[in-house]
């Protein structure tokens, strides 16, 4: 009987630990949406998956939906600036500048770099291809706009993931 009691206490302790880990990851991920050090949405997803696999309270369809939202978020982080550059008429090098600007900007300056890096990358690469300053700044402006829209979209995705997660706990 004592062995059975110890096993159930170990199981209960592990469950508490996993739920605590899940909560910490979710909070860290939400913080990471605004702070440059933590990749926000993927960490939120990791925390949710720990809780879901611990408690088994979400269907595979719900899990797939959360993963899909996280994937959209990651793609938005890196390609929203490139979409704006392409829409404004930037050349292939300008679009490459947006992607490189996002990567380098985030690596060096964190969230601010993720916000401004794509626009600077487009501006620099468009000027290097001998485009006039007016076209280059227009492309950079569109890139800045779509990058801003991407950040706002990531916040909305995080809220949607939280709502889906919380609803799945109580239903």
Can you spell out the DSSP letters for 117-141? HHHHHHHHHHHHTT--HHHHHHHHH
**pLDDT tens digits along 48-85:** 999 998 888 888 898 999 999 999 988 887 777 777 77
Predicted model pTM: 0.70
**pLDDT surpasses 70 at 91:** yes
Residue-level pLDDT at 92? 85
Mean of the pLDDT values across residues 87-95?
82
**pLDDT surpasses 70 at 35:** no
């Amino acid at each position: 009987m004592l062995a059975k009691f110890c096993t159930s206490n170990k199981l209960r302790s592990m469950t508490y630990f996993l739920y605590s880990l899940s909560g910490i990851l979710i909070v860290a991920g939400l913080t990471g949406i605004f702070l440059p050090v933590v990749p926000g949405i993927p960490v939120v997803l990791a925390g949710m998956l720990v809780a879901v696999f611990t408690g088994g309270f979400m269907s595979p369809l719900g899990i797939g939906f959360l993963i899909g939202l996280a994937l959209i978020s990651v793609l938005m982080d890196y390609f929203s600036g490139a979409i704006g550059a392409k829409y404004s008429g930037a050349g292939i090098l300008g679009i490459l500048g947006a992607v490189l600007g996002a990567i380098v900007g985030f690596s060096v300056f964190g969230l601010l770099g993720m916000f401004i890096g794509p626009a600077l990358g487009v501006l620099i690469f468009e000027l290097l291809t001998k485009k006039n300053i007016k076209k280059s700044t227009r492309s950079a402006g569109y890139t800045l706009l779509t990058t801003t829209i991407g950040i706002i979209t990531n916040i909305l995705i995080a809220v949607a993931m939280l709502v889906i997660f919380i609803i799945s706990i109580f239903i």
